[in-house]
């Protein structure tokens, strides 16, 4: 069975469960709406030049928080039912677990981003570029979310099976994903300003994504399980018991 | 020489300064049911977790048949029923089993799934969400899931938990059927009567070591074997595992 098929089956399993109660989707969607309202109330009066500086931050801040919520919830479900440990004993490539979770997280996070971008465009005139250049906007959104989710999925999985608590995810996640988020933020500003280097930024973001996904998938099993059992070269010698 | 489905050699496990397992030597042969007994917190679940590949040992070796590593093919021959049922609550019983069958690459698994669901007595609830099941029903589902691939090695942590009398009898029958099929079975339990009914051998884990064992002799009765299991003790003067002989 191929890695792709196993990843798809695991992702589909999560999606089917999510469609039964929509808990994660509703939480992410409502959070996105609340954040939008707060941004509108706080920054609507900003001059257009300042909006160009503020909108990228609003977008990626909201995505970062939605991402943390989603990652927490997607692994909470596994932790509550201890199902992740069950999957680890099945004849499943463990990297498929990573790609399955990554796929679902990415779907939710980019979905919220897809709500955020047009909404920001409606609220802030400087962000109308998101609607005027939908292909570049969508590409930027997806590439930025991949970078964030690639790292986030790795550490959320590690905490799901360890004794760490959810709060550790936030402590670990934000510092580690900050470089990717900042890069995405800079690329977003380049998009809003019509900067000629946008294509270069997108290319670099795509390369970053490839590196992060490769690294995270390589680290996934050790992070999840720790060291594996290694055969000893010889039997341990017994110490004679004292009388 | 026959390949042993599960072999633990010099296995030790420590959590920081706490040593949970010390130099465990244990084999489980094909067509054998071994019960691992011991007080709460003595390391039974830790040992099973290591055997299931869920936790690394600190030292020692664990081999699964001819595999030194529990890779995908080795995991195909193994099944683990944990203390928690590890069931997807939002999926039905059938969907839980279909997921595992699909991940295993089993084509046309539905008839086998229906058979297994009937075998564990869940036919009437097969399409109900597993989260609506009682604990005992979830346990039956977990067992059905473990039997999906006709495993060569079956690891069960407290499988009799939450089962009613009918469930206990059913599980006992299932385990004996799996043993007849040639599966190697290692289980933990505090239910000594259930252990005596199904096990060929019982080993006692104490102070991180296997300190005593009892093997069923010939046509020894369940009552006699259960009584010997109850008397499993530890001779701390030596490292020898105490073997309790049957009564004359």
Residue B176, exposed/middle/buried by CB under 10 A (0-12, 13-18, 19+)?
Answer: middle
**How far is the C-alpha of A147 from the C-alpha of A213, rounded, in Å?**
8
| pLDDT confidence of residue A234 | 35
| pLDDT confidence of residue B197 | 87
- pLDDT value at B120 more than 50: yes
| Interface check A89 vs B, CB under 8 A | yes
Residue B9 bridge partners (DSSP): B61
> If you average pLDDT over residues A95-117, what whole number do you get?
94
Residues of B in contact with A15 (CB under 8 A): none
> If you average pLDDT over residues A3-18, what whole number do you get?
94
| pLDDT confidence of residue A155 | 85
| pLDDT confidence of residue A236 | 37
Res. B2 pLDDT band, cuts 50 70 90: low
- The Cα of B188 is separated from the nearest Cα of chain A by a number of Å equal to 18
Helix (H, G, I), strand (E, B) or coil at A168: helix
- pLDDT value at B226 more than 80: no
Higher local confidence (pLDDT), A175 or A118: A118
Average pLDDT along chain B? 86
Residues of A in contact with B72 (CB under 8 A): 91-93
Task: Answer yes or no: are the C-beta atoms of A66 and A36 closer than 8 Å.
Answer: no
Residue A135, exposed/middle/buried by CB under 10 A (0-12, 13-18, 19+)?
Answer: exposed
Residues of A in contact with B57 (CB under 8 A): 229
- The Cα of A114 is separated from the nearest Cα of chain B by a number of Å equal to 28
Res. A25 pLDDT band, cuts 50 70 90: confident
**How far is the C-alpha of A106 from the C-alpha of A117, rounded, in Å?**
16
- pLDDT value at A237 more than 50: no
- pLDDT value at B222 more than 80: no
Which strands sit side by side in the sheet containing B6-15, from one edge to the other? B18-28, B6-15, B59-63
User: Taking the CB of residue A101, how many other CB atoms lie within 10 A of it?
Assistant: 27
Q: Which residue of B has its CA nearest to A239?
A: B239
B-facing residues of A in 154-183 (CB < 8 A) are none
Task: Answer yes or no: are the C-beta atoms of B221 and B67 closer than 8 Å.
Answer: no
Q: Which residue of B has its CA nearest to A5?
A: B103
Residues of B in contact with A227 (CB under 8 A): 56
> If you average pLDDT over residues A39-43, what whole number do you get?
90
| pLDDT confidence of residue B117 | 94
Residues A190-234: pLDDT tens digits?
A: 999 999 999 999 999 999 999 999 999 999 988 887 644 343 333
| pLDDT confidence of residue B10 | 93
- pLDDT value at A41 more than 60: yes
Task: Answer yes or no: are the C-beta atoms of B184 and B80 closer than 8 Å.
Answer: no
Share of chain B above pLDDT 70, in %: 91
- pLDDT value at B228 more than 80: no
Res. A241 pLDDT band, cuts 50 70 90: very low
- Cβ-defined contact of A81 to B84 (cutoff 8 Å): yes
Count residue pairs from A and B with Cβ separation < 8 A: 102
> If you average pLDDT over residues A46-56, what whole number do you get?
87
Q: Pull the structure tokens for residue A127.
A: 């962000």
Those residues whose C-beta lies under 8 Å from the C-beta of residue B202, and which sit 6 or more positions away, are B34, B35, B36, B37, B195, B196, B213, B214, B229, B232
- Cβ-defined contact of B91 to A227 (cutoff 8 Å): no
Those residues whose C-beta lies under 8 Å from the C-beta of residue A150, and which sit 6 or more positions away, are A102, A209, A212, A213, A216
| pLDDT confidence of residue B124 | 93
**How far is the C-alpha of B45 from the C-alpha of B24, rounded, in Å?**
14
Higher local confidence (pLDDT), A99 or B41: A99
Residues of A in contact with B143 (CB under 8 A): none
Q: Pull the structure tokens for residue B239.
A: 């490292």
Kindly state the DSSP code that residue B11 receives in the 8-state scheme: E
Higher local confidence (pLDDT), B210 or A235: B210
Q: Pull the structure tokens for residue B42.
A: 């003595």
| Interface check A44 vs B, CB under 8 A | no
Most confident of B21-35, B56-70, B96-110: B21-35
Res. A113 pLDDT band, cuts 50 70 90: very high
Domains in chain B: ranges and CATH: 6-89+151-243 (3.40.50.300)
| pLDDT confidence of residue A239 | 36
- Cβ-defined contact of A82 to B84 (cutoff 8 Å): yes
* Phi/psi of residue B33, nearest 5 degrees: -115, 120
Share of chain A above pLDDT 70, in %: 88
Average pLDDT along chain A? 86
**How far is the C-alpha of B185 from the C-alpha of B28, rounded, in Å?**
7
- In this prediction the pTM is 0.86
| Region label for B224, one of left (φ > 0), alpha (ψ between -120 and 50) or beta (otherwise) | alpha
DSSP A86-150: HHHHSS--HHHHHHHHHHHHHHHHHHHHHHHHHHHHHH-GGGGHHHHSHHHHHHHHHHHHHHHHH
| pLDDT confidence of residue B213 | 83
- pLDDT value at B230 more than 90: no
- Cβ-defined contact of A81 to B88 (cutoff 8 Å): yes
- Cβ-defined contact of B80 to A81 (cutoff 8 Å): no
Res. A11 pLDDT band, cuts 50 70 90: very high
| pLDDT confidence of residue B142 | 94
Residues of B in contact with A16 (CB under 8 A): 90-91, 95
Share of chain B above pLDDT 90, in %: 54
Residue of B213, B179, B132 lying closest to B32 (CA atoms): B179
| pLDDT confidence of residue A165 | 56
> If you average pLDDT over residues B6-19, what whole number do you get?
92
**How far is the C-alpha of B103 from the C-alpha of B88, rounded, in Å?**
15
**How far is the C-alpha of B99 from the C-alpha of B148, rounded, in Å?**
11
- pLDDT value at B50 more than 60: yes
Task: Answer yes or no: are the C-beta atoms of A44 and A86 closer than 8 Å.
Answer: no
- The Cα of A213 is separated from the nearest Cα of chain B by a number of Å equal to 22
Which of A31-35, A194-198, B65-69, B95-99 shows the lowest per-residue confidence on average (mean pLDDT)? Answer: B65-69
Helix (H, G, I), strand (E, B) or coil at B40: coil
- Cβ-defined contact of A90 to B104 (cutoff 8 Å): yes
- Cβ-defined contact of B87 to A227 (cutoff 8 Å): no
Higher local confidence (pLDDT), A161 or A91: A91
| pLDDT confidence of residue A228 | 40
| Interface check A40 vs B, CB under 8 A | no
Residues of B in contact with A104 (CB under 8 A): none
- Cβ-defined contact of A9 to B80 (cutoff 8 Å): no
- pLDDT value at A133 more than 60: yes
Residues of B in contact with A236 (CB under 8 A): 10, 23, 59-60
Task: Answer yes or no: are the C-beta atoms of A22 and A108 closer than 8 Å.
Answer: no
């Amino acid at each position: 069975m191929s890695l792709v098929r196993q990843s798809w089956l695991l992702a589909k399993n999560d999606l089917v469960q999510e469609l039964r109660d929509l808990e994660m989707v509703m939480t992410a969607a409502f959070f996105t709406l609340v954040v939008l309202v707060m941004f509108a109330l706080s920054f609507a009066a900003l001059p257009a030049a300042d909006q160009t500086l503020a909108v990228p931050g609003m977008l990626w801040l909201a995505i970062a928080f939605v991402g943390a919520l989603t990652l927490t919830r997607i692994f909470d479900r596994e932790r509550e039912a201890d199902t992740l440990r069950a999957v680890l004993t099945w004849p499943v490539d463990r990297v498929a677990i990573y790609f399955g979770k990554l796929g679902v997280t990415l779907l939710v996070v980019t979905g919220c981003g897809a709500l955020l971008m047009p909404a920001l465009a409606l609220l802030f005139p400087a962000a109308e570029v998101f609607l005027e250049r939908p292909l570049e906007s969508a590409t930027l959104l997806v590439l930025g979310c991949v970078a964030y989710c690639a790292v986030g999925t790795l550490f959320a999985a590690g905490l799901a099976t360890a004794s760490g608590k959810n709060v550790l995810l936030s402590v670990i996640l934000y510092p580690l994903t900050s470089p990717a988020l900042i890069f995405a933020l800079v690329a977003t500003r380049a998009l809003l300003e019509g900067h000629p280097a946008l294509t270069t930024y997108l290319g670099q973001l795509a390369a970053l994504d490839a590196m992060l996904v490769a690294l995270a998938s390589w680290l996934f099993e050790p992070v999840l399980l720790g060291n594996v059992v290694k055969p000893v070269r010889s039997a341990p010698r017994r110490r004679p018991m004292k009388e | 020489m026959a390949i042993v489905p599960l072999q633990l050699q010099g296995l030790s496990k420590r959590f920081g300064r706490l040593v949970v397992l010390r130099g465990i030597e244990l084999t489980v042969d094909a067509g054998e049911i071994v019960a691992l007994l011991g007080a709460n917190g003595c390391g039974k679940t830790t040992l099973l977790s290591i055997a299931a590949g869920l936790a690394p040992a600190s030292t020692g070796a664990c081999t699964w048949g001819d595999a030194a590593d529990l890779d995908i093919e080795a995991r195909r021959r193994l099944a683990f029923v944990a203390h928690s049922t590890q069931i997807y609550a939002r999926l039905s019983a059938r969907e839980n089993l279909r997921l595992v069958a699909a991940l295993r690459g089993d084509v046309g698994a539905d008839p086998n799934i229906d058979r297994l669901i009937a075998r564990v007595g869940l036919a009437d609830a097969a399409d109900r969400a597993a989260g609506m099941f009682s604990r005992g029903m979830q346990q039956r589902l977990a067992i059905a899931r473990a039997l999906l691939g006709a495993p060569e090695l079956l690891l069960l942590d407290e499988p009799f938990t939450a089962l009613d009398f009918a469930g206990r009898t059913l599980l006992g029958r299932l385990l004996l059927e799996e043993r007849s099929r040639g599966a190697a079975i290692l289980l933990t339990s505090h239910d000594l009567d259930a252990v005596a009914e199904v096990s060929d051998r019982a080993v006692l884990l104490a102070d991180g070591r296997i300190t005593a064992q009892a093997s069923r002799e010939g046509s020894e009765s369940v009552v006699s074997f259960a009584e010997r299991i109850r008397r499993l003790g530890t001779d701390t003067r030596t490292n020898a595992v105490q073997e309790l002989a049957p009564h004359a």
